[in-house]
Every structure is written in C-alpha cells, then in structure tokens.
C-alpha cells in the first residue's frame, strides 16, 4: 500500500506540484490550486492479499464543489474505469467502451453488492438486511470493483458503511459520469 501510494504521490508531485494530495497511507499534503487528488493505492487489501481480482487503485480529483474526475484501475484484470467532465469509459482487454449505469428500477429487480456481510454497526447491518431481503440478488466481496459494475450497468447499487474520502472520491466521479 505505502509503496504504491508513494509512486502515485511522486508522479503527482512532478506533474501537479500545486495540487493537494490526500492518501489513505500517507495522509494529506497541502496545495495551492484548489484541487485535491485523493488516493487509495490498494482498495480491497484483503482481496489483494488473498489473490481475489476485485481490488483496485482509486485516484480521484476534487475541488471545492466536489468530485471532478475519477479513475478505478483494476490491474489484475487490466481494466481502467474513468469518469468525469461528462465522460465515462472503461478500457481493457476488449477495447474502450462508454459506461452507462442502469436506469432506476424497483428494488425487487435490483442486484445489490457489499464488501462484507457484516455491514457497519449493528443498526447499519440491520438496515442492510432489510434492503437485501427485498433485492433480487445480493453478492459480497467485490470491493471497489462493485462500484465499477454500477457504472458499467451490471449492478444496481452498493451498500457500505464507514467509508472515508479515499474510498469513494474516484468512484463518485465515475458513477455520476455514467449516469
């Protein structure tokens, strides 16, 4: 985690020295541009350690208004999801295609993901169980890749608890740009 974040920080310091950086492993570096790069070098560390291909590298760019750009890089599979400024796309072994989230539909038809079956606090877990009981299909353990699947139109929603800015900044841009 730390070595990967150091590599991202070195590149940003070289290319965008005036921007702030917030990383999961190394904390915050102040900038002067009004832009902040938010980095989670290995989202899904447990998946990474166990050889599951659902971990990824999250890099988001935010300004005072919120999310601007996001990248979800999935090196194991070779996919890179990008979103922001009105565009959302995924590049990978099958080429580059536009991303489009599904249109809203009833919960009884929805596919729901979460990373762990024991979601958050007991109250949050109980709330998740109520939603999960009404969903068409519930899956576990996809980490950041579940959010990429929302942007790609394969999954309807992801429910998590206790997330930090570095867990979601990149994902917000990709999903919002995908509709």
pLDDT range class, residue 6, cuts 50, 70, 90: very high
Greatest CA separation found in the chain? 49
pLDDT at 12: 97
pLDDT digits (tens, 9 = 90+) for 23-77: 999 999 999 999 999 999 999 999 999 999 999 999 999 999 999 999 999 998 9
Q: Look up the pTM and report it.
A: 0.94
pLDDT in the model for residue 41: 96
Each residue of 102-156: pLDDT tens digit? 999 999 999 999 988 888 899 999 999 999 999 999 999 899 999 999 999 999 9
For the stretch 91-111, pLDDT in tens is 999 999 999 999 999 999 999
Read off the tokens for 104: 């809203």
- Residues 36-39: contacts with CB under 8 Å, at least 24 apart: 36/61, 36/62, 36/63, 37/8, 37/12, 37/61, 38/62, 38/165, 38/166, 38/169, 38/170, 39/5, 39/8, 39/9, 39/166
pLDDT for the residue 119: 86
């Amino acid at each position: 985690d730390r070595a990967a974040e150091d590599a991202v920080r070195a590149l940003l310091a070289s290319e965008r020295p005036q921007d702030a950086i917030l990383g999961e492993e190394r904390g915050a570096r102040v900038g002067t541009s009004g832009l902040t790069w938010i980095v989670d070098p290995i989202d899904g560390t447990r998946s990474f350690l166990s050889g599951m291909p659902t971990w990824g590298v999250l890099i988001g760019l935010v300004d005072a208004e919120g999310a601007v750009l996001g990248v979800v890089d999935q090196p194991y599979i070779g996919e890179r999801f990008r979103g922001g400024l009105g565009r959302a796309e995924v590049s990978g072994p099958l080429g580059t295609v536009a991303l489009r989230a599904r249109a809203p539909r009833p919960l009884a038809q929805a596919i729901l993901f979460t990373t762990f079956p024991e979601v958050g606090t007991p109250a949050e877990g109980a709330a998740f169980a109520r939603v999960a009981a009404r969903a068409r299909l519930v899956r576990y353990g996809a980490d950041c890749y579940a959010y990429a699947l929302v942007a790609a139109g394969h999954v309807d929603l992801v429910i998590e608890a206790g997330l930090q800015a570095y867990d979601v900044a990149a994902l917000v841009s990709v999903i919002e740009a995908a509709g």
